[in-house]
Chain A
């Protein structure tokens, strides 16, 4: 459990600290060394252009990196792609986008789901029916196709209005969050329903506690394990959904990098004579490892958070 948690933390930290690490520019095209296989001949190389970052922290980050590593950067240990870009650097940069989307979208979907489920559970009766049937109707739609449809619509809208600042990543984030909150809502609702009739809630009612106090003090804290369980199930699902959409070309777009997009480009580079396996295997491994770790750490977390569980 500890080892898995540390490994997951390392992946997250690496993604977070990419601007500080001596990595190659993920977008730097160098056709002279296209499709180089993985090699450990040289660990570092010098004199190449450093990646450019934008944003408020870009300046200090670049300065810090230069101070620590000079102009050194890690050589393409995992090979290069069809445009000569370093696969390692692209995986690290891809992790940023993939994990960011998974994290933000899952938190957004968790808040929607918890709110929706808790309201249904607390309302009970007709309100409960109304809210949950609404969720059922949404859940009955083939969501993946819905997402594809929405993304395609937006894309055509953007083509007609090229000056709009709508980012495709933001669209992806919003759409995945909107379609993935239903399981969380169902789980939270069930928990709230059973908590509502718990003996200790009766005891609080008898003690003269107001409904607001019961909600704040008893019901919400006790739904936390379920909400967290729902969240740990949502993160991998969104990660997969994002990769899948990017693979189809409906997610993150070309100048950006994500694991799904890398897999797409790896598949494109496959030819009958030239099997550049490293373009598919390494991003695929990164995705699989992260999914496995998320799943098992989520499960352990859920058990740990149960009062009187394994703790």
Chain B
């Protein structure tokens, strides 16, 4: 029997620019093939071309065949492929929020697709929709079906999107980064669900991901893409354990691991310097416009020289805590205290504006979205020099250039505009800007979350180097425990605006005290098929 999807020598081009060069792959019934690669490698375009969802005519198929259930999709028109969408193959995207119609109750949305594909009565379609919602493990489907997308959590929304993709009895599921926007615990559950559907329905799955943990947990076979080509294909166990191609090897080497040995020597050196408190909070709470507080009763001390990692799921108040530490958010109750040399500790909100500005120059901040963090109309050099100009210091071109080199940037890149740099380069500029006033404290908000694995590893290594060289105090917010493992001296776990656990890193990773921390740690997917599958099996229980 021929495989459900067979792609041969697919080439895609935008105008004269080739994007994908001769990709061949196949997915059989009941099998999960993972397409792995960094952003811009062409994996999403390849997936979109299967259902002819490409932004044609800007991006066209220039050569190759795509046989989906015996029909050559590439040869026909895009309209002809419309009959296959939802019937033979369904798709799930990264962002479940924008994939669902905001003004239609989710049960109706699923039923509409059922009715379209199966041509049945309204009542039968509603009945079938409830069955589908039950099949994707939504509790109490009758109640959930009445709800609107904004009333559901991210995980539930993605389940609804999955039900919609399956509503026309499709045999192939194309999932483009389906868990990237979800929290780790939810991610494990959703991957478990996909594996379950694969077994029960004989569903074929094409999974697009940049995360080797996800791949290890879900895939049977892996195809690694680089710059529009598949460089390596094989079973998940072989590729992850013994990668053949250099590119796969570098990618895998760059994956931060929970079981990696911490850098004990540097930590020991720095431990002695850990004495004075730089920033302290007392019973800090923050609330926006009278809504429920985002932060509640946070007590915390940041000492010189330490690396404090704040971890937690989205919405747990991590970023708000950082902003409150920098006096960008005014506390509702409690207070933030900054250490000011001789003057002792002081509440930044009680400082006169000029003094507040001077004190802030002692803190550097790196934001999550490196594009939003720079004024689009200014060349990057102007943004990097701004902290110097603002504090009335002389702007020394050589010093800025030296700093750019220190963070691994060609100084010439500073003459460009933010949009002209890649995400990794921009994040380095952001780090340079944060360090230009030689602050003692560097705060980073999910500073590597938007970066590809290899870039992420580079930036993290850079941070470790800078920290050792400049004896920086780091406060790093992340949702990724593997990143935390690499950097942390101390870990702070947050849940719903509260600190649930604060412990030295070694203690935390060898056995956290709180059940929530343990749950977080258990849900991390290692890039190892056997253990990743065990995580998923445990989450499904």
Question: Can you name the residue of chain B whose Cβ is closest to the Cβ of A219?
Answer: B375
Q: B433 at interface (Cβ–Cβ under 8 A)? A: yes
Q: A222 at interface (Cβ–Cβ under 8 A)? A: yes
For B516, list chain A residues within 8 Å (CB).
none
Contact status A207-B386, CB under 8 Å: yes
For A156, list chain B residues within 8 Å (CB).
none
Contact status B387-A200, CB under 8 Å: no
Given known contacts A203-B433, A308-B419, is B357 in contact with A208 (CB within 8 Å)? Answer: yes
Distance (whole angstroms) from the CB of B61 to the closest CB of chain A: 26
Per-residue CB proximity of A7-22 to B under 8 Å, as 1/0?
0000000000000000
Contact status A208-B367, CB under 8 Å: no
Q: B365 at interface (Cβ–Cβ under 8 A)? A: yes
Could you say which of B361, B372, B419 contacts A208, with CB atoms under 8 Å apart?
Answer: B361
Per-residue CB proximity of A209-228 to B under 8 Å, as 1/0?
11001000110011000000
For A206, list chain B residues within 8 Å (CB).
326, 328, 360, 363-365
Contact status B376-A222, CB under 8 Å: yes
Contact status A210-B373, CB under 8 Å: no
Query: Cα distance A163–B280 when bound, in Å?
Result: 76
Given known contacts A199-B367, A210-B357, A307-B419, is B390 in contact with A204 (CB within 8 Å)? Answer: yes
Q: A202 at interface (Cβ–Cβ under 8 A)? A: yes
Question: Can you name the residue of chain A whose Cβ is closest to the Cβ of B373?
Answer: A199
Chain B: number of interface residues, binned into ranges: 20 to 34
Contact status B377-A307, CB under 8 Å: yes
Query: Cα distance A207–B326 when bound, in Å?
Result: 11
Distance (whole angstroms) from the CB of B354 to the closest CB of chain A: 9
Distance (whole angstroms) from the CB of A133 to the closest CB of chain B: 20
Taking CB atoms and an 8 Å cut-off, the chain A residues in 6-49 that contact chain B are: none
Distance (whole angstroms) from the CB of A129 to the closest CB of chain B: 15
Query: Cα distance A308–B391 when bound, in Å?
Result: 30
Chain A CB within 10 Å, residue with most, of B363, B375, B383, B391: B375
Q: B349 at interface (Cβ–Cβ under 8 A)? A: no
Question: Can you name the residue of chain A whose Cβ is closest to the Cβ of B387?
Answer: A207
For A200, list chain B residues within 8 Å (CB).
372-375, 383
For A218, list chain B residues within 8 Å (CB).
375
Contact status A198-B377, CB under 8 Å: no
Contact status B358-A208, CB under 8 Å: yes
Q: B417 at interface (Cβ–Cβ under 8 A)? A: yes
Per-residue CB proximity of A64-77 to B under 8 Å, as 1/0?
00000000000000
Query: Cα distance A210–B373 when bound, in Å?
Result: 18
For A307, list chain B residues within 8 Å (CB).
376-377, 417, 419
Query: Cα distance A302–B361 when bound, in Å?
Result: 37
Q: A205 at interface (Cβ–Cβ under 8 A)? A: yes
Query: Cα distance A291–B419 when bound, in Å?
Result: 35
Q: B369 at interface (Cβ–Cβ under 8 A)? A: yes
For B386, list chain A residues within 8 Å (CB).
204, 207, 209, 217
Contact status A198-B372, CB under 8 Å: yes
Taking CB atoms and an 8 Å cut-off, the chain A residues in 95-139 that contact chain B are: none
For B373, list chain A residues within 8 Å (CB).
199-200, 203
Query: Cα distance A199–B437 when bound, in Å?
Result: 19
Query: Cα distance A200–B419 when bound, in Å?
Result: 14
Question: Can you name the residue of chain A whose Cβ is closest to the Cβ of B364?
Answer: A206
Contact status A208-B360, CB under 8 Å: yes
For B387, list chain A residues within 8 Å (CB).
207-208
Distance (whole angstroms) from the CB of A226 to the closest CB of chain B: 13
Query: Cα distance A204–B385 when bound, in Å?
Result: 11
Chain B CB within 10 Å, residue with most, of A200, A204, A209: A200
Taking CB atoms and an 8 Å cut-off, the chain B residues in 345-382 that contact chain A are: 353, 357-358, 360-361, 363-365, 367, 369, 372-378
Given known contacts A199-B373, A221-B377, is B417 in contact with A208 (CB within 8 Å)? Answer: no
Distance (whole angstroms) from the CB of B520 to the closest CB of chain A: 27
For A308, list chain B residues within 8 Å (CB).
376, 419
Distance (whole angstroms) from the CB of A145 to the closest CB of chain B: 39
Given known contacts A199-B367, A202-B328, A205-B328, is B390 in contact with A210 (CB within 8 Å)? Answer: yes
For A222, list chain B residues within 8 Å (CB).
375-377
For A217, list chain B residues within 8 Å (CB).
375, 378, 386
Given known contacts A222-B376, A307-B417, is B367 in contact with A203 (CB within 8 Å)? Answer: yes
Distance (whole angstroms) from the CB of A13 to the closest CB of chain B: 31
Known A200-B373, A206-B328, A307-B377; further 14 A-B contacts with Cβ < 8 A: A198-B372, A199-B369, A202-B323, A206-B326, A206-B360, A207-B433, A208-B387, A208-B437, A210-B353, A210-B390, A217-B375, A217-B378, A217-B386, A222-B375
Mind listing 29 A-B residue pairs with CB under 8 Å? A198-B372, A199-B367, A200-B375, A200-B383, A202-B323, A202-B367, A203-B365, A203-B373, A203-B433, A204-B375, A204-B386, A206-B326, A206-B328, A206-B365, A207-B361, A207-B386, A207-B391, A208-B357, A208-B358, A208-B387, A208-B390, A208-B437, A209-B390, A210-B357, A213-B390, A217-B375, A221-B377, A307-B376, A307-B417
Name B's A-contacting residues (CB within 8 A): 323, 326, 328, 353, 357-358, 360-361, 363-365, 367, 369, 372-378, 383, 386-387, 390-391, 417, 419, 433, 437
